[in-house]
Amino acid sequence: MEFGFFSFIVLISFFVLVLVVRKLTTFFKTYKPKLNLPPGPRKLPFIGSLHLFTGSNPPHRTLRDLAKKYGPLMHLQLGEVNIILASSSETAQQFLKTHDIDFASRSTLLMSEICCYGNKDIVFAPYGEYWRQMRKICMLELLSAKRVESFRPIREEEISNLCRWIVLQEGSPINLTQKICMTNFEIMARATFGKKTEEHVKFIAIVKEGMEFMSTFHIADVYPSIKVLSSITGLKRKVEKVHQETDRIIGNIIEEHRRVDAADRGNHEDLADVLLRVRDSGSLDLPLTIENIKAVLGAASTRSSAASKRKQRAIEINGYEIPARTRVLVNLWAIGRDPEYWEDGESFIPERFLEKQVDFRGNCLEFIPFGAGRRICPGISFAIAQVELALAMLLYHFDWTLPNGMKPEEMDMTEFSGVSARRNTNLYIIPIVRRPFSS
């Protein structure tokens, strides 16, 4: 009996010893010295700092508030993902200018991996020869000043259609947010694919659905090693459905373009025509496939430059260590309202730009709506031309009042809790024709 008990104790001790040895072996194999990371909030097991983003405050405001406490260079752990946040123009300079080549690749997300054909578009393509070639095509062919100017008739026609519709609604509240959004989609779709077709209308609908995915936080993206999460949440199925429909529509439009003889197009090339012409010219260092063209055309209508960057190798910034494969976010919203540069930065005071000349094309980092550095948004000229014309027409031809006697200061300016900081509710407003609009 005593011998049996003694044997049991020895057996248990042996198993405990084996377990301890395995734990120690694993520890020493994976041990890394403690890094001198930038300061940041306390991290909880498994979730990191995700609990800080569960309130009603939009993420960009939460990040701004955290930066006030921990500084303009901050470390966050969201699930499995390490994030470095830059919240001032000085820290943004380090990532977007000084060390921009080290941060020239984008973070891979489930949405971009599926919908961009394995990140083959311009926005999410890894920094390298393929990206440089696509960027060159984009700047010299797709979005050059000459090409953007060639789309002027499309912009004028669609914005004129918008104004004519508004004239008919004079004196009644209209959903201006929805109408401007649809006008923007129409312009982008026509510039990308040309004339309106039944597929054109379907494409706009699927693009809107895709943009909702891109603007929303997904738990699967902060736990990339747990592949099953995207299936459990239903995200993967929804994204694949959007991608399949987008692929079908763009495929049909490309086939239609390939059947049209170049002579029949004349000088009216859309973006699909340009990419097919470049592909058929045989002048590229890397061959351009139909899949590549689909990825670029899809991105032209659905993506923005507001994507996180991924660190390729370890580096030191401002005395802190930035590990390899760390995601970097630049809070453009916070920088554009930094009290060090902007007086009463959260108030709408357009006159401030008359007194202070600020370049918004990536040179003045206190105001970078299109980003800066190598991955600056290539569609700046296209966007400016579109916004300037629409804004000028709406202000020149109409006066505007709020419904039900509402005062401007009574408007709900709560922001959308997502990637973009747009107004959470649509703008309903009453148009009054000030200058007649001639067709």
Alpha helix ranges (H) inside 31-120: 59-70, 89-93, 110-115
* Residue 28, C-beta contacts closer than 8 angstroms, at least 6 positions apart: none
Q: SS3 for 326? A: coil
Task: Classify burial at 126, counting beta carbons within 10 Å of its beta carbon; exposed 0-12, middle 13-18, buried 19 or more.
Answer: middle
Phi-psi region of 42 (alpha: psi -120 to 50; beta: other; left: phi over 0): beta
Number of H helices, E strands in the chain: 17, 10
377 is in an annotated binding site: yes
- Do residues 230 and 111 touch, judged by C-beta distance below 8 A? no
- Do residues 16 and 45 touch, judged by C-beta distance below 8 A? no
In this structure, is the dihedral angle defined by the CA atoms of residues 55, 61, 62 and 65, taken in order, positive or negative?
Answer: negative
Euclidean distance between the first and final Cα of the chain, in Å?
Answer: 105
* Residue 305, C-beta contacts closer than 8 angstroms, at least 6 positions apart: 123, 370, 371, 375, 376, 377
- Do residues 122 and 116 touch, judged by C-beta distance below 8 A? no
List, as residue ranges, the binding site: 377
List, as residue ranges, the binding site for heme: 377
